[in-house]
Amino acid sequence: MSTTTIPQWRLKGKLVQACNCEYGCPCEFNAPPSQGHCHGTWSWHVEEGRFGDVDLAGVHFAAACKWPGAIHEGNGEALPLLDERMTPEQQQAVGTLLSGQAGGPWGIIATTLTTVHEPKLLDWDYDFAGSDTTIKAGDVLTMELTPIRNPVTGDIFEATVVLPTGFTSKALNHATTSDFSVRDGVSYAYPGKDAAWGDFEYDGPPA
């Protein structure tokens, strides 16, 4: 689909992410990633929205990515993951979004990628519960969030980062993971590192 045929679109829903950084992911503050490289997954869950005439309400999809340095330094690799319950029209719409052609956060992410694997269509199990959210996409992706806890008292520690100019979400509630792994394409596993969730609202195409 060429950029001249991109229809009007708008999406609202929940974003869930996890990565290899320590709690509070410095990438959100334009600082270098904790380990010098970025391995992470964004998972989008559309509550309402359309891409032209295609209804995307209830659609789940994710991008599992890795970069050898900070994201903005490029040379990244991505594996798109799609809910197998999508219709062919929904698959095409989401594929166009993830390609970056239609703008939104994917228009930024796509500029940092040099390798994009073929999308995987997977059975999707999504149970949103804030910092206890669980996502499983076939045998490829597992994201099991759990609250950050005070190391002395064991009490739940809550932290929300407000990002007025954030491009994936304007506010992210931070947690950690009891299990986080990708087992195809960009394989990695980082339980016990940073995770976050928040609302998103995007529209396009860019002017």
Q: What is the pTM of this model?
A: 0.95
> Is residue 4 one of the residues assigned to a domain?
no
The yes-or-no verdict on residue 143 having pLDDT over 90 is yes
Q: Tell me the H-state helices in the chain.
A: 88-99, 104-109
> Is residue 17 one of the residues assigned to a domain?
yes
> Is residue 3 one of the residues assigned to a domain?
no
Q: Which domain holds residue 150?
A: 9-202
Per-residue pLDDT tens digits for 99-123: 999 999 999 999 999 999 999 999 9
The yes-or-no verdict on residue 161 having pLDDT over 50 is yes
> Is residue 50 one of the residues assigned to a domain?
yes
Q: What's residue 132's pLDDT?
A: 98
| Average pLDDT of the residues of the chain | 96
Q: What's residue 93's pLDDT?
A: 98
> Is residue 180 one of the residues assigned to a domain?
yes
Per-residue pLDDT tens digits for 3-59: 458 999 999 999 999 999 999 999 999 899 999 999 999 999 999 999 999 999 999
Number of domains comprising the chain: 1
Cβ distance 141 to 62 under 8 Å?
A: yes
Comparing C-alpha atoms, which of 3, 186, 179 is closest to residue 81?
186
Per-residue pLDDT tens digits for 176-205: 999 999 999 999 999 999 999 999 999 999
> Is residue 73 one of the residues assigned to a domain?
yes
Q: What's residue 4's pLDDT?
A: 57
CB neighbour list of residue 22: distance below 8 Å, 6 or more residues apart: 34, 193, 194
Strand partners, 196: 17, 174
> Is residue 107 one of the residues assigned to a domain?
yes
Cis, peptide link before residue 80, omega less than 30° from 0: no
> Is residue 2 one of the residues assigned to a domain?
no
The yes-or-no verdict on residue 2 having pLDDT over 70 is no
Q: What's residue 77's pLDDT?
A: 98
Question: Count of residues for the chain?
Answer: 207
